[in-house]
């Protein structure tokens, strides 16, 4: 029988629930095991047709809980109040033994065991409270098809795309609504194509939403749409006369903003003359690709979450051979590389990257529990980050390389 938040209102998890969390942490990379785990009981599926999702959801919850315990970016690795987070990361994410983790943190094995038990209970408490809050919400208020869940299901499909064609397709989708309301489109597109590396599905949906807003809110007979390419960005403007007298009523809802964030763009509404509203979409053309080469699936997911709010495309390889192949095929702007991998080690991957003219120019961030920055530099890597790695460390490294 499951023992979870649905069975009680206490904010303190039962010992049985803590035991379930510990067991799930010990099998963090065994999706088949997690798929049948007790923690999946009562877990609402974001995608019922995907048999692996409950196990992945459990793992994501565990990783998020561990990340929540991070003391912050400026805290020294061996600081006492960072031990719990670092022990959880080293032992369960990095699969470092308790003895080795204790050595790295400069504490006794007994102290490491105590802190690890404390960490397991903290993770259990976080999951317990979160699930208790969710269970108190009625099904109508729990949006199982939320934007975040929908985006999580989509893989990046960025490719070279003509923005003008997308605008025309979006208008075609909105045209029946415009005809019903008696709205005419004044479309002004440049004679030359404006091509950006983007996900066309997300961009087209954003344009459809913006044009729909304009058609619904327009008080005149036309909606004016203009597209222009500037030095550093492309701008789409949607203008229309509005009946609304409220200065902040521009019609840009949360879905539009989230789609823009997903694309790395910005959307803003402003008041023009004589009651006009102008919606401007600023499209940043630069969307760098970052390749992660690491056999640790949990850490790959963690790094992807670290970068999820940045305008970049993240791809991953689970071993050195696939990493070299993706480095040639995808031509990433940066590579995050682990060195301790079965088969081809990260050291060999780094040397092959440097010896291949097709990949030698790509900056490499070596992220490893093995602290050997001099060797990393000698082999041509740009940055060394010791594990466990924090979000700010990753972002700072990529900013120094002018990638994000």
Residue pair 250/276 in contact (Cβ under 8 Å)? The answer is no
- Same domain membership, residue 295 and residue 279: no
Backbone angles phi, psi at 51, to 5 degrees: -70, -20
Asked if 141 and 179 sit in the same domain, the reply is no
Asked if 270 and 359 sit in the same domain, the reply is: no
Mean pLDDT of the chain: 80
User: Does the structure show a pLDDT above 50 at 46?
Assistant: no
Domain CATH for 215: 3.30.565.10
Do residues 227 and 318 share a domain? no
Chosen domain end from 265, 283, 301: 283
Tell me the CATH number at 319.
Answer: 3.40.50.2300
> Residue 140 pLDDT > 60, yes or no?
no
Of the residues 283, 312, 335, the one at which a domain ends: 283
| 145 plus 255 within the same structural domain | no
Contact 291, 268 (CB under 8 A): no
The predicted pLDDT at position 144 comes to: 38
Residue 389 to residue 93: CA distance in whole angstroms? 11
69-89 per-position pLDDT tens digit: 887 767 788 888 889 999 999
pLDDT (average), residues 113-123: 92
Same domain assignment for residues 395 and 359: yes
Helix (H, G, I), strand (E, B) or coil at 133: helix
Shared domain for 14 and 88, answered yes or no, is: yes
Instruction: Count other C-beta atoms under 10 Å from residue 203's C-beta.
Output: 25
Q: What's the CA gap between 335 and 119, in Å, rounded?
A: 31
* 355/235 same-domain check: no
- The confidence score (pLDDT) of residue 181 equals 87
Q: What is the pLDDT of residue 135?
A: 55
Domain count, the chain: 3
Q: What is the pTM of this model?
A: 0.51
Comparing C-alpha atoms, which of 75, 109, 70, 76 is closest to residue 93?
Answer: 70
- Please check whether residue 328 is in contact with residue 356, taking contact to mean a CB–CB distance below 8 angstroms: yes
Backbone torsions φ then ψ of 223, nearest 5 degrees: -125, 130
On the question of pLDDT at 52 being above 60, the answer is no
Confidence of residue 3 (pLDDT cuts 50, 70, 90): low
- Region 361-371: what's the mean pLDDT? 87
pLDDT tens digits, 187-234: 898 888 888 877 888 889 899 988 988 888 888 788 999 998 865 678
Mean pLDDT, rounded, for 42-71:
70
**Looking at the structure, do residues 268 and 329 belong to the same domain, yes or no?**
no
- At residue 227's C-alpha, the angle toward residues 221 and 229, to 5°, is 165
Same domain, 267 and 308: no
* Cα(136)–Cα(128) distance, integer angstroms: 12
Question: Which residues lie closer than 8 Å to 272 by C-beta, 6 or more apart?
Answer: 239, 278
Token couple for 329: 């095929």
Do 334 and 277 have their domain in common?
A: no
Q: Residue 361: exposed, middle, or buried by beta-carbon count in 10 A (0-12, 13-18, 19+)?
A: exposed
Report whether pLDDT(33) > 80: yes
Helix-strand-coil percent breakdown of the chain, rounded to 5? 50, 15, 35
Give the model's pLDDT for residue 244.
Answer: 58
For residue 70, say if its preceding peptide bond is cis, omega within 30 degrees of 0.
no
Interval 278-327: pLDDT, tens: 888 887 655 678 999 998 887 888 888 788 766 677 888 989 999 999 99
- As a whole number, mean pLDDT of residues 341-351 equals 90
Q: Identify the domain containing residue 237 by its residue range.
A: 160-283
The neighbour count for residue 65, using CB atoms within 10 Å, is 20
8 A C-beta contact, residue 363 and residue 332: no
Same domain, yes or no: 189 and 311: no
The C-alpha angle with vertex 37 and arms to 16 and 21, in degrees rounded to 5, equals 40
Residue-wise pLDDT for 221-262, tens only, equals 889 999 988 656 788 989 888 765 444 455 677 778 878 877
How far is Cα 284 from Cα 204, in angstroms, rounded to an integer? 16
Neighbour count for residue 374 (Cβ, 10 Å):
9
Q: Final residue of a domain: which of 153, 183, 209?
A: 153
Per-residue confidence (pLDDT) for residue 47, from 0 to 100: 41
- DSSP secondary structure, 191-211, as one string: SS--EEEE-HHHHHHHHHHHH
Within 8 A by CB and 6+ apart from 75, the residues are 81, 82
């Amino acid at each position: 029988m499951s023992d979870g938040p649905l069975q009680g209102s206490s904010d303190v998890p039962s010992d049985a629930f803590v035991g379930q969390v510990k067991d799930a942490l010990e099998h963090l990379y065994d999706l088949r095991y997690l798929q049948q785990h007790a923690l999946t009981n009562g877990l609402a599926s974001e995608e019922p047709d995907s048999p692996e999702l409950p196990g992945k959801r459990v793992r994501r919850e565990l990783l998020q809980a561990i990340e929540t315990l991070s003391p912050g970016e400026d805290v020294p690795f061996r600081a006492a109040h960072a031990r719990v987070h670092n022990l959880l990361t080293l032992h369960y994410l990095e699969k470092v033994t308790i003895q080795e983790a204790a050595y790295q943190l400069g504490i006794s094995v007994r102290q490491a065991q105590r802190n690890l038990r404390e960490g397991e209970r903290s993770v259990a408490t976080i999951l317990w409270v979160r699930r208790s809050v969710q269970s108190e919400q009625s099904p109508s208020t729990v949006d199982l098809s939320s934007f975040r869940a929908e985006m999580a299901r989509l893989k990046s499909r960025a490719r070279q795309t003509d923005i003008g064609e997308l605008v025309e397709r979006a208008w075609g989708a909105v045209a029946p609504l415009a005809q019903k309301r008696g709205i005419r489109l004044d479309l002004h597109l440049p004679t030359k194509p404006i091509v950006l590396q983007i996900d066309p599905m997300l961009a087209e949906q954003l344009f459809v939403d913006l044009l729909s807003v304009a058609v619904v809110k327009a008080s005149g007979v036309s909606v004016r749409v203009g597209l222009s390419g500037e030095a550093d960005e492309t701008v789409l403007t949607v203008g229309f006369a509005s009946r609304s007298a409220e200065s902040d009523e521009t019609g840009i809802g949360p879905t539009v903003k989230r789609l823009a964030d997903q694309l790395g763009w910005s959307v803003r509404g402003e008041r023009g003359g004589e009651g006009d509203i102008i919606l401007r979409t600023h499209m940043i053309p630069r969307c760098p690709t970052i390749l992660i080469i690491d056999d640790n699936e949990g850490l790959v997911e963690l790094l992807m979450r670290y970068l999820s709010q940045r305008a970049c495309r993240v791809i991953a390889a689970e071993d050195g051979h696939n990493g070299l192949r993706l480095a040639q095929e995808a031509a990433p702007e940066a590579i995050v590389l682990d060195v301790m991998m079965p088969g081809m080690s990260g050291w060999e991957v780094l040397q092959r990257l440097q010896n291949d003219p097709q990949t030698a120019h790509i900056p490499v961030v070596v992220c490893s529990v093995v602290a050997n920055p001099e060797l990393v530099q000698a082999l041509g890597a740009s940055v060394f980050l010791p594990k466990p790695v924090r979000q700010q460390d990753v972002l700072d490294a990529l900013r120094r390389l002018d990638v994000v």
